[in-house]
């Protein structure tokens, strides 16, 4: 991954979408994973051969979601 550090807060209405850009002449194609909201839109571009990096990202997202679920269960009002 190229280096870029930024911060954005996910909100309940954050959207995610995947777009396939099929191979064209001289290009192997790619997939765009976009995560966005009102002010921030993050696009991750994945080319063939990088599927494992996306799978690792998905596992980390699941781990983070599970941690948030645990936090919500331990707070009196259910909010993190």
Mean pLDDT on 16-21:
96
Tell me how far apart the alpha carbons of residues 31 and 24 are, in angstroms, rounded to a whole number: 13
Please determine, for residue 36, whether its predicted confidence score (pLDDT) is greater than 60.
yes
pTM of the complete model: 0.78
Give 15: exposed, middle or buried? Use CB within 10 Å, 0-12, 13-18, 19+.
exposed
Could you give the maximum distance between any two Cα atoms of the chain, in Å? 58
Residue for token pair 């991750």 = 44
């Amino acid at each position: 991954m190229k280096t870029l550090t930024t911060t954005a807060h996910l909100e309940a209405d954050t959207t995610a979408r995947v777009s396939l850009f099929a191979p064209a002449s001289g290009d192997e194609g790619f997939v765009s994973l976009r995560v966005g909201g009102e002010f921030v839109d993050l696009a991750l571009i994945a080319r063939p051969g990088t599927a494992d990096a996306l799978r690792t990202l998905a596992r980390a997202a699941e781990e983070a979601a599970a941690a948030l679920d645990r936090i919500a269960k331990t707070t009196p009002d259910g909010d993190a």
